[in-house]
Amino acid sequence: MPVFINPFTDFGFKRIFGQESSKRILIGFLNALFEGEFVVVNLEYRDKEQPGQTKEERGVIFDIYCTASDGRHFIVEMQNKNQVNFEARALYYMSRSIVAQGEKGDDWQYEYCPVIGVFLMNFKHKTLGEVFRSDYGVRNIKIDGKPEERKTPPELAEKMRMVFLQMPLFNKTESECVTKLDKWTYLVKNMEKLKEIPWKAQDEVLAELEKVSNVAALSPEERHIYEVNLRVYRDNLAVLEASYQDGHESGFNEGLDEAKEKFALSLLKDGAELSFIAKHTGLSLDDVQRLKNDERMHENQ
C-alpha cells in the first residue's frame, strides 16, 4: 500500500479538498492556481447535493463560496470526474451554480457571484488539445467586416470561467518545479508514488497535506472504503483511456457500466452489503440486487 492516498479517487479527493477541517489545503491550492490574480483568504463549503445532481456525482463536486483579500466574493466549483462529453457537462454544472443563486421576487437584479470551475483531470480530452492548463471564459466574437478589435467588458467576462488541468500533460520533475502551481500539480499527480511530501519544510500547508493524505492515519473503516474507491477508480480510468485512444467516445458509458458491474460482482462475492456496493460503485440498489439475483441463478444452474 502506498504511503499517501490517491487524490483522484472519490474518497481521496473529498478528504484532501472537500473537508471543513482541511480547508487550508484547498485555499493553498487555489492561491497557487490563481497566483498574481487574487488571493483567497477564506472559503466555506456550500450544499454539495444540489437539485438534479445524481448519486454518482455527489462527493466529487464541491460548491465553494470564496472571499478574496480585496473583499470580492466568488464561487469555485471543484470537480474530479472522468466522463463522456466532459466539456459539455462542465458547462452545465457551471450554469447550474449560477442559476442556484437566483432569488425569488421582483427586487432581485441578477446580482450573482462569479463562478469559477476548476476541473482536475487525470486523463486527456481531445477537445482541449495537448495543453496542461486551459482557461475558458466569456469572450466577444469578432464579426466579419469589422476588423477593429473588440474587447469583452471585464464585468461580463469574469462572470464565468473554467480552468481545465490535464494532469497527464504535466511532466516536470521535482527539481524542475519552481512556481507554487508547479509544486501543487506535481504533488497531486504523483502523491500515490511519494514517500514524503517535498517542500513541506518551507510551507506549513504542505505539512498539513502530508498528515491528511497519509494512509496510516486512516481508520480501519476509512481504509476499507478507500481501497474500494481505488479499485473502482482504476477500472473507470482504464475504460476512459481505452475510449480516448480508440476515439470511440460513444462506447464510454457502456464500458464504464461494464466495469462497475464487474467490480460490484467481486464485492458481492466478498459478502459486502448491497448499500455499500451501491454507494461505492455508483450503481443503483436495484441494479446491485439484479446482479445478485443473476449471480444466484448462475450458481444454481
pLDDT at 241: 60
Q: How many CA atoms lie within 13 A of 119 on its CB side?
A: 28
Q: What is the pLDDT of residues 84-105, one digit of tens each?
A: 667 787 888 888 888 888 888 8
pLDDT at 57: 47
- Rounded to the nearest integer, the mean pLDDT of the chain is 81
Question: Are 50 and 96 a contacting pair, CB within 8 Å?
Answer: yes
Longest dimension (CA), the chain: 76
Q: CA nearest 259: which of 285, 286, 241, 247?
A: 241
Q: Measure the CA–CA gap between 63 and 168, rounded to whole angstroms.
A: 25
pLDDT at 74: 86
In the structure grid, which three cell numbers stand for residue 288, read together?
446491485
Compare 175 and 257 and report the one with higher pLDDT.
175
Domain boundaries, the chain: 10-213, 220-300
Question: Which residue has cell 457537462?
Answer: 89
Confidence band, pLDDT 50/70/90 cuts, at residue 269: confident
Q: What is the pLDDT of residues 131-174, one digit of tens each?
A: 999 999 887 776 665 555 566 777 777 888 889 999 999 999 99
Mean pLDDT of 286-291: 86
Confidence band, pLDDT 50/70/90 cuts, at residue 228: confident
Mean pLDDT of 243-261: 59
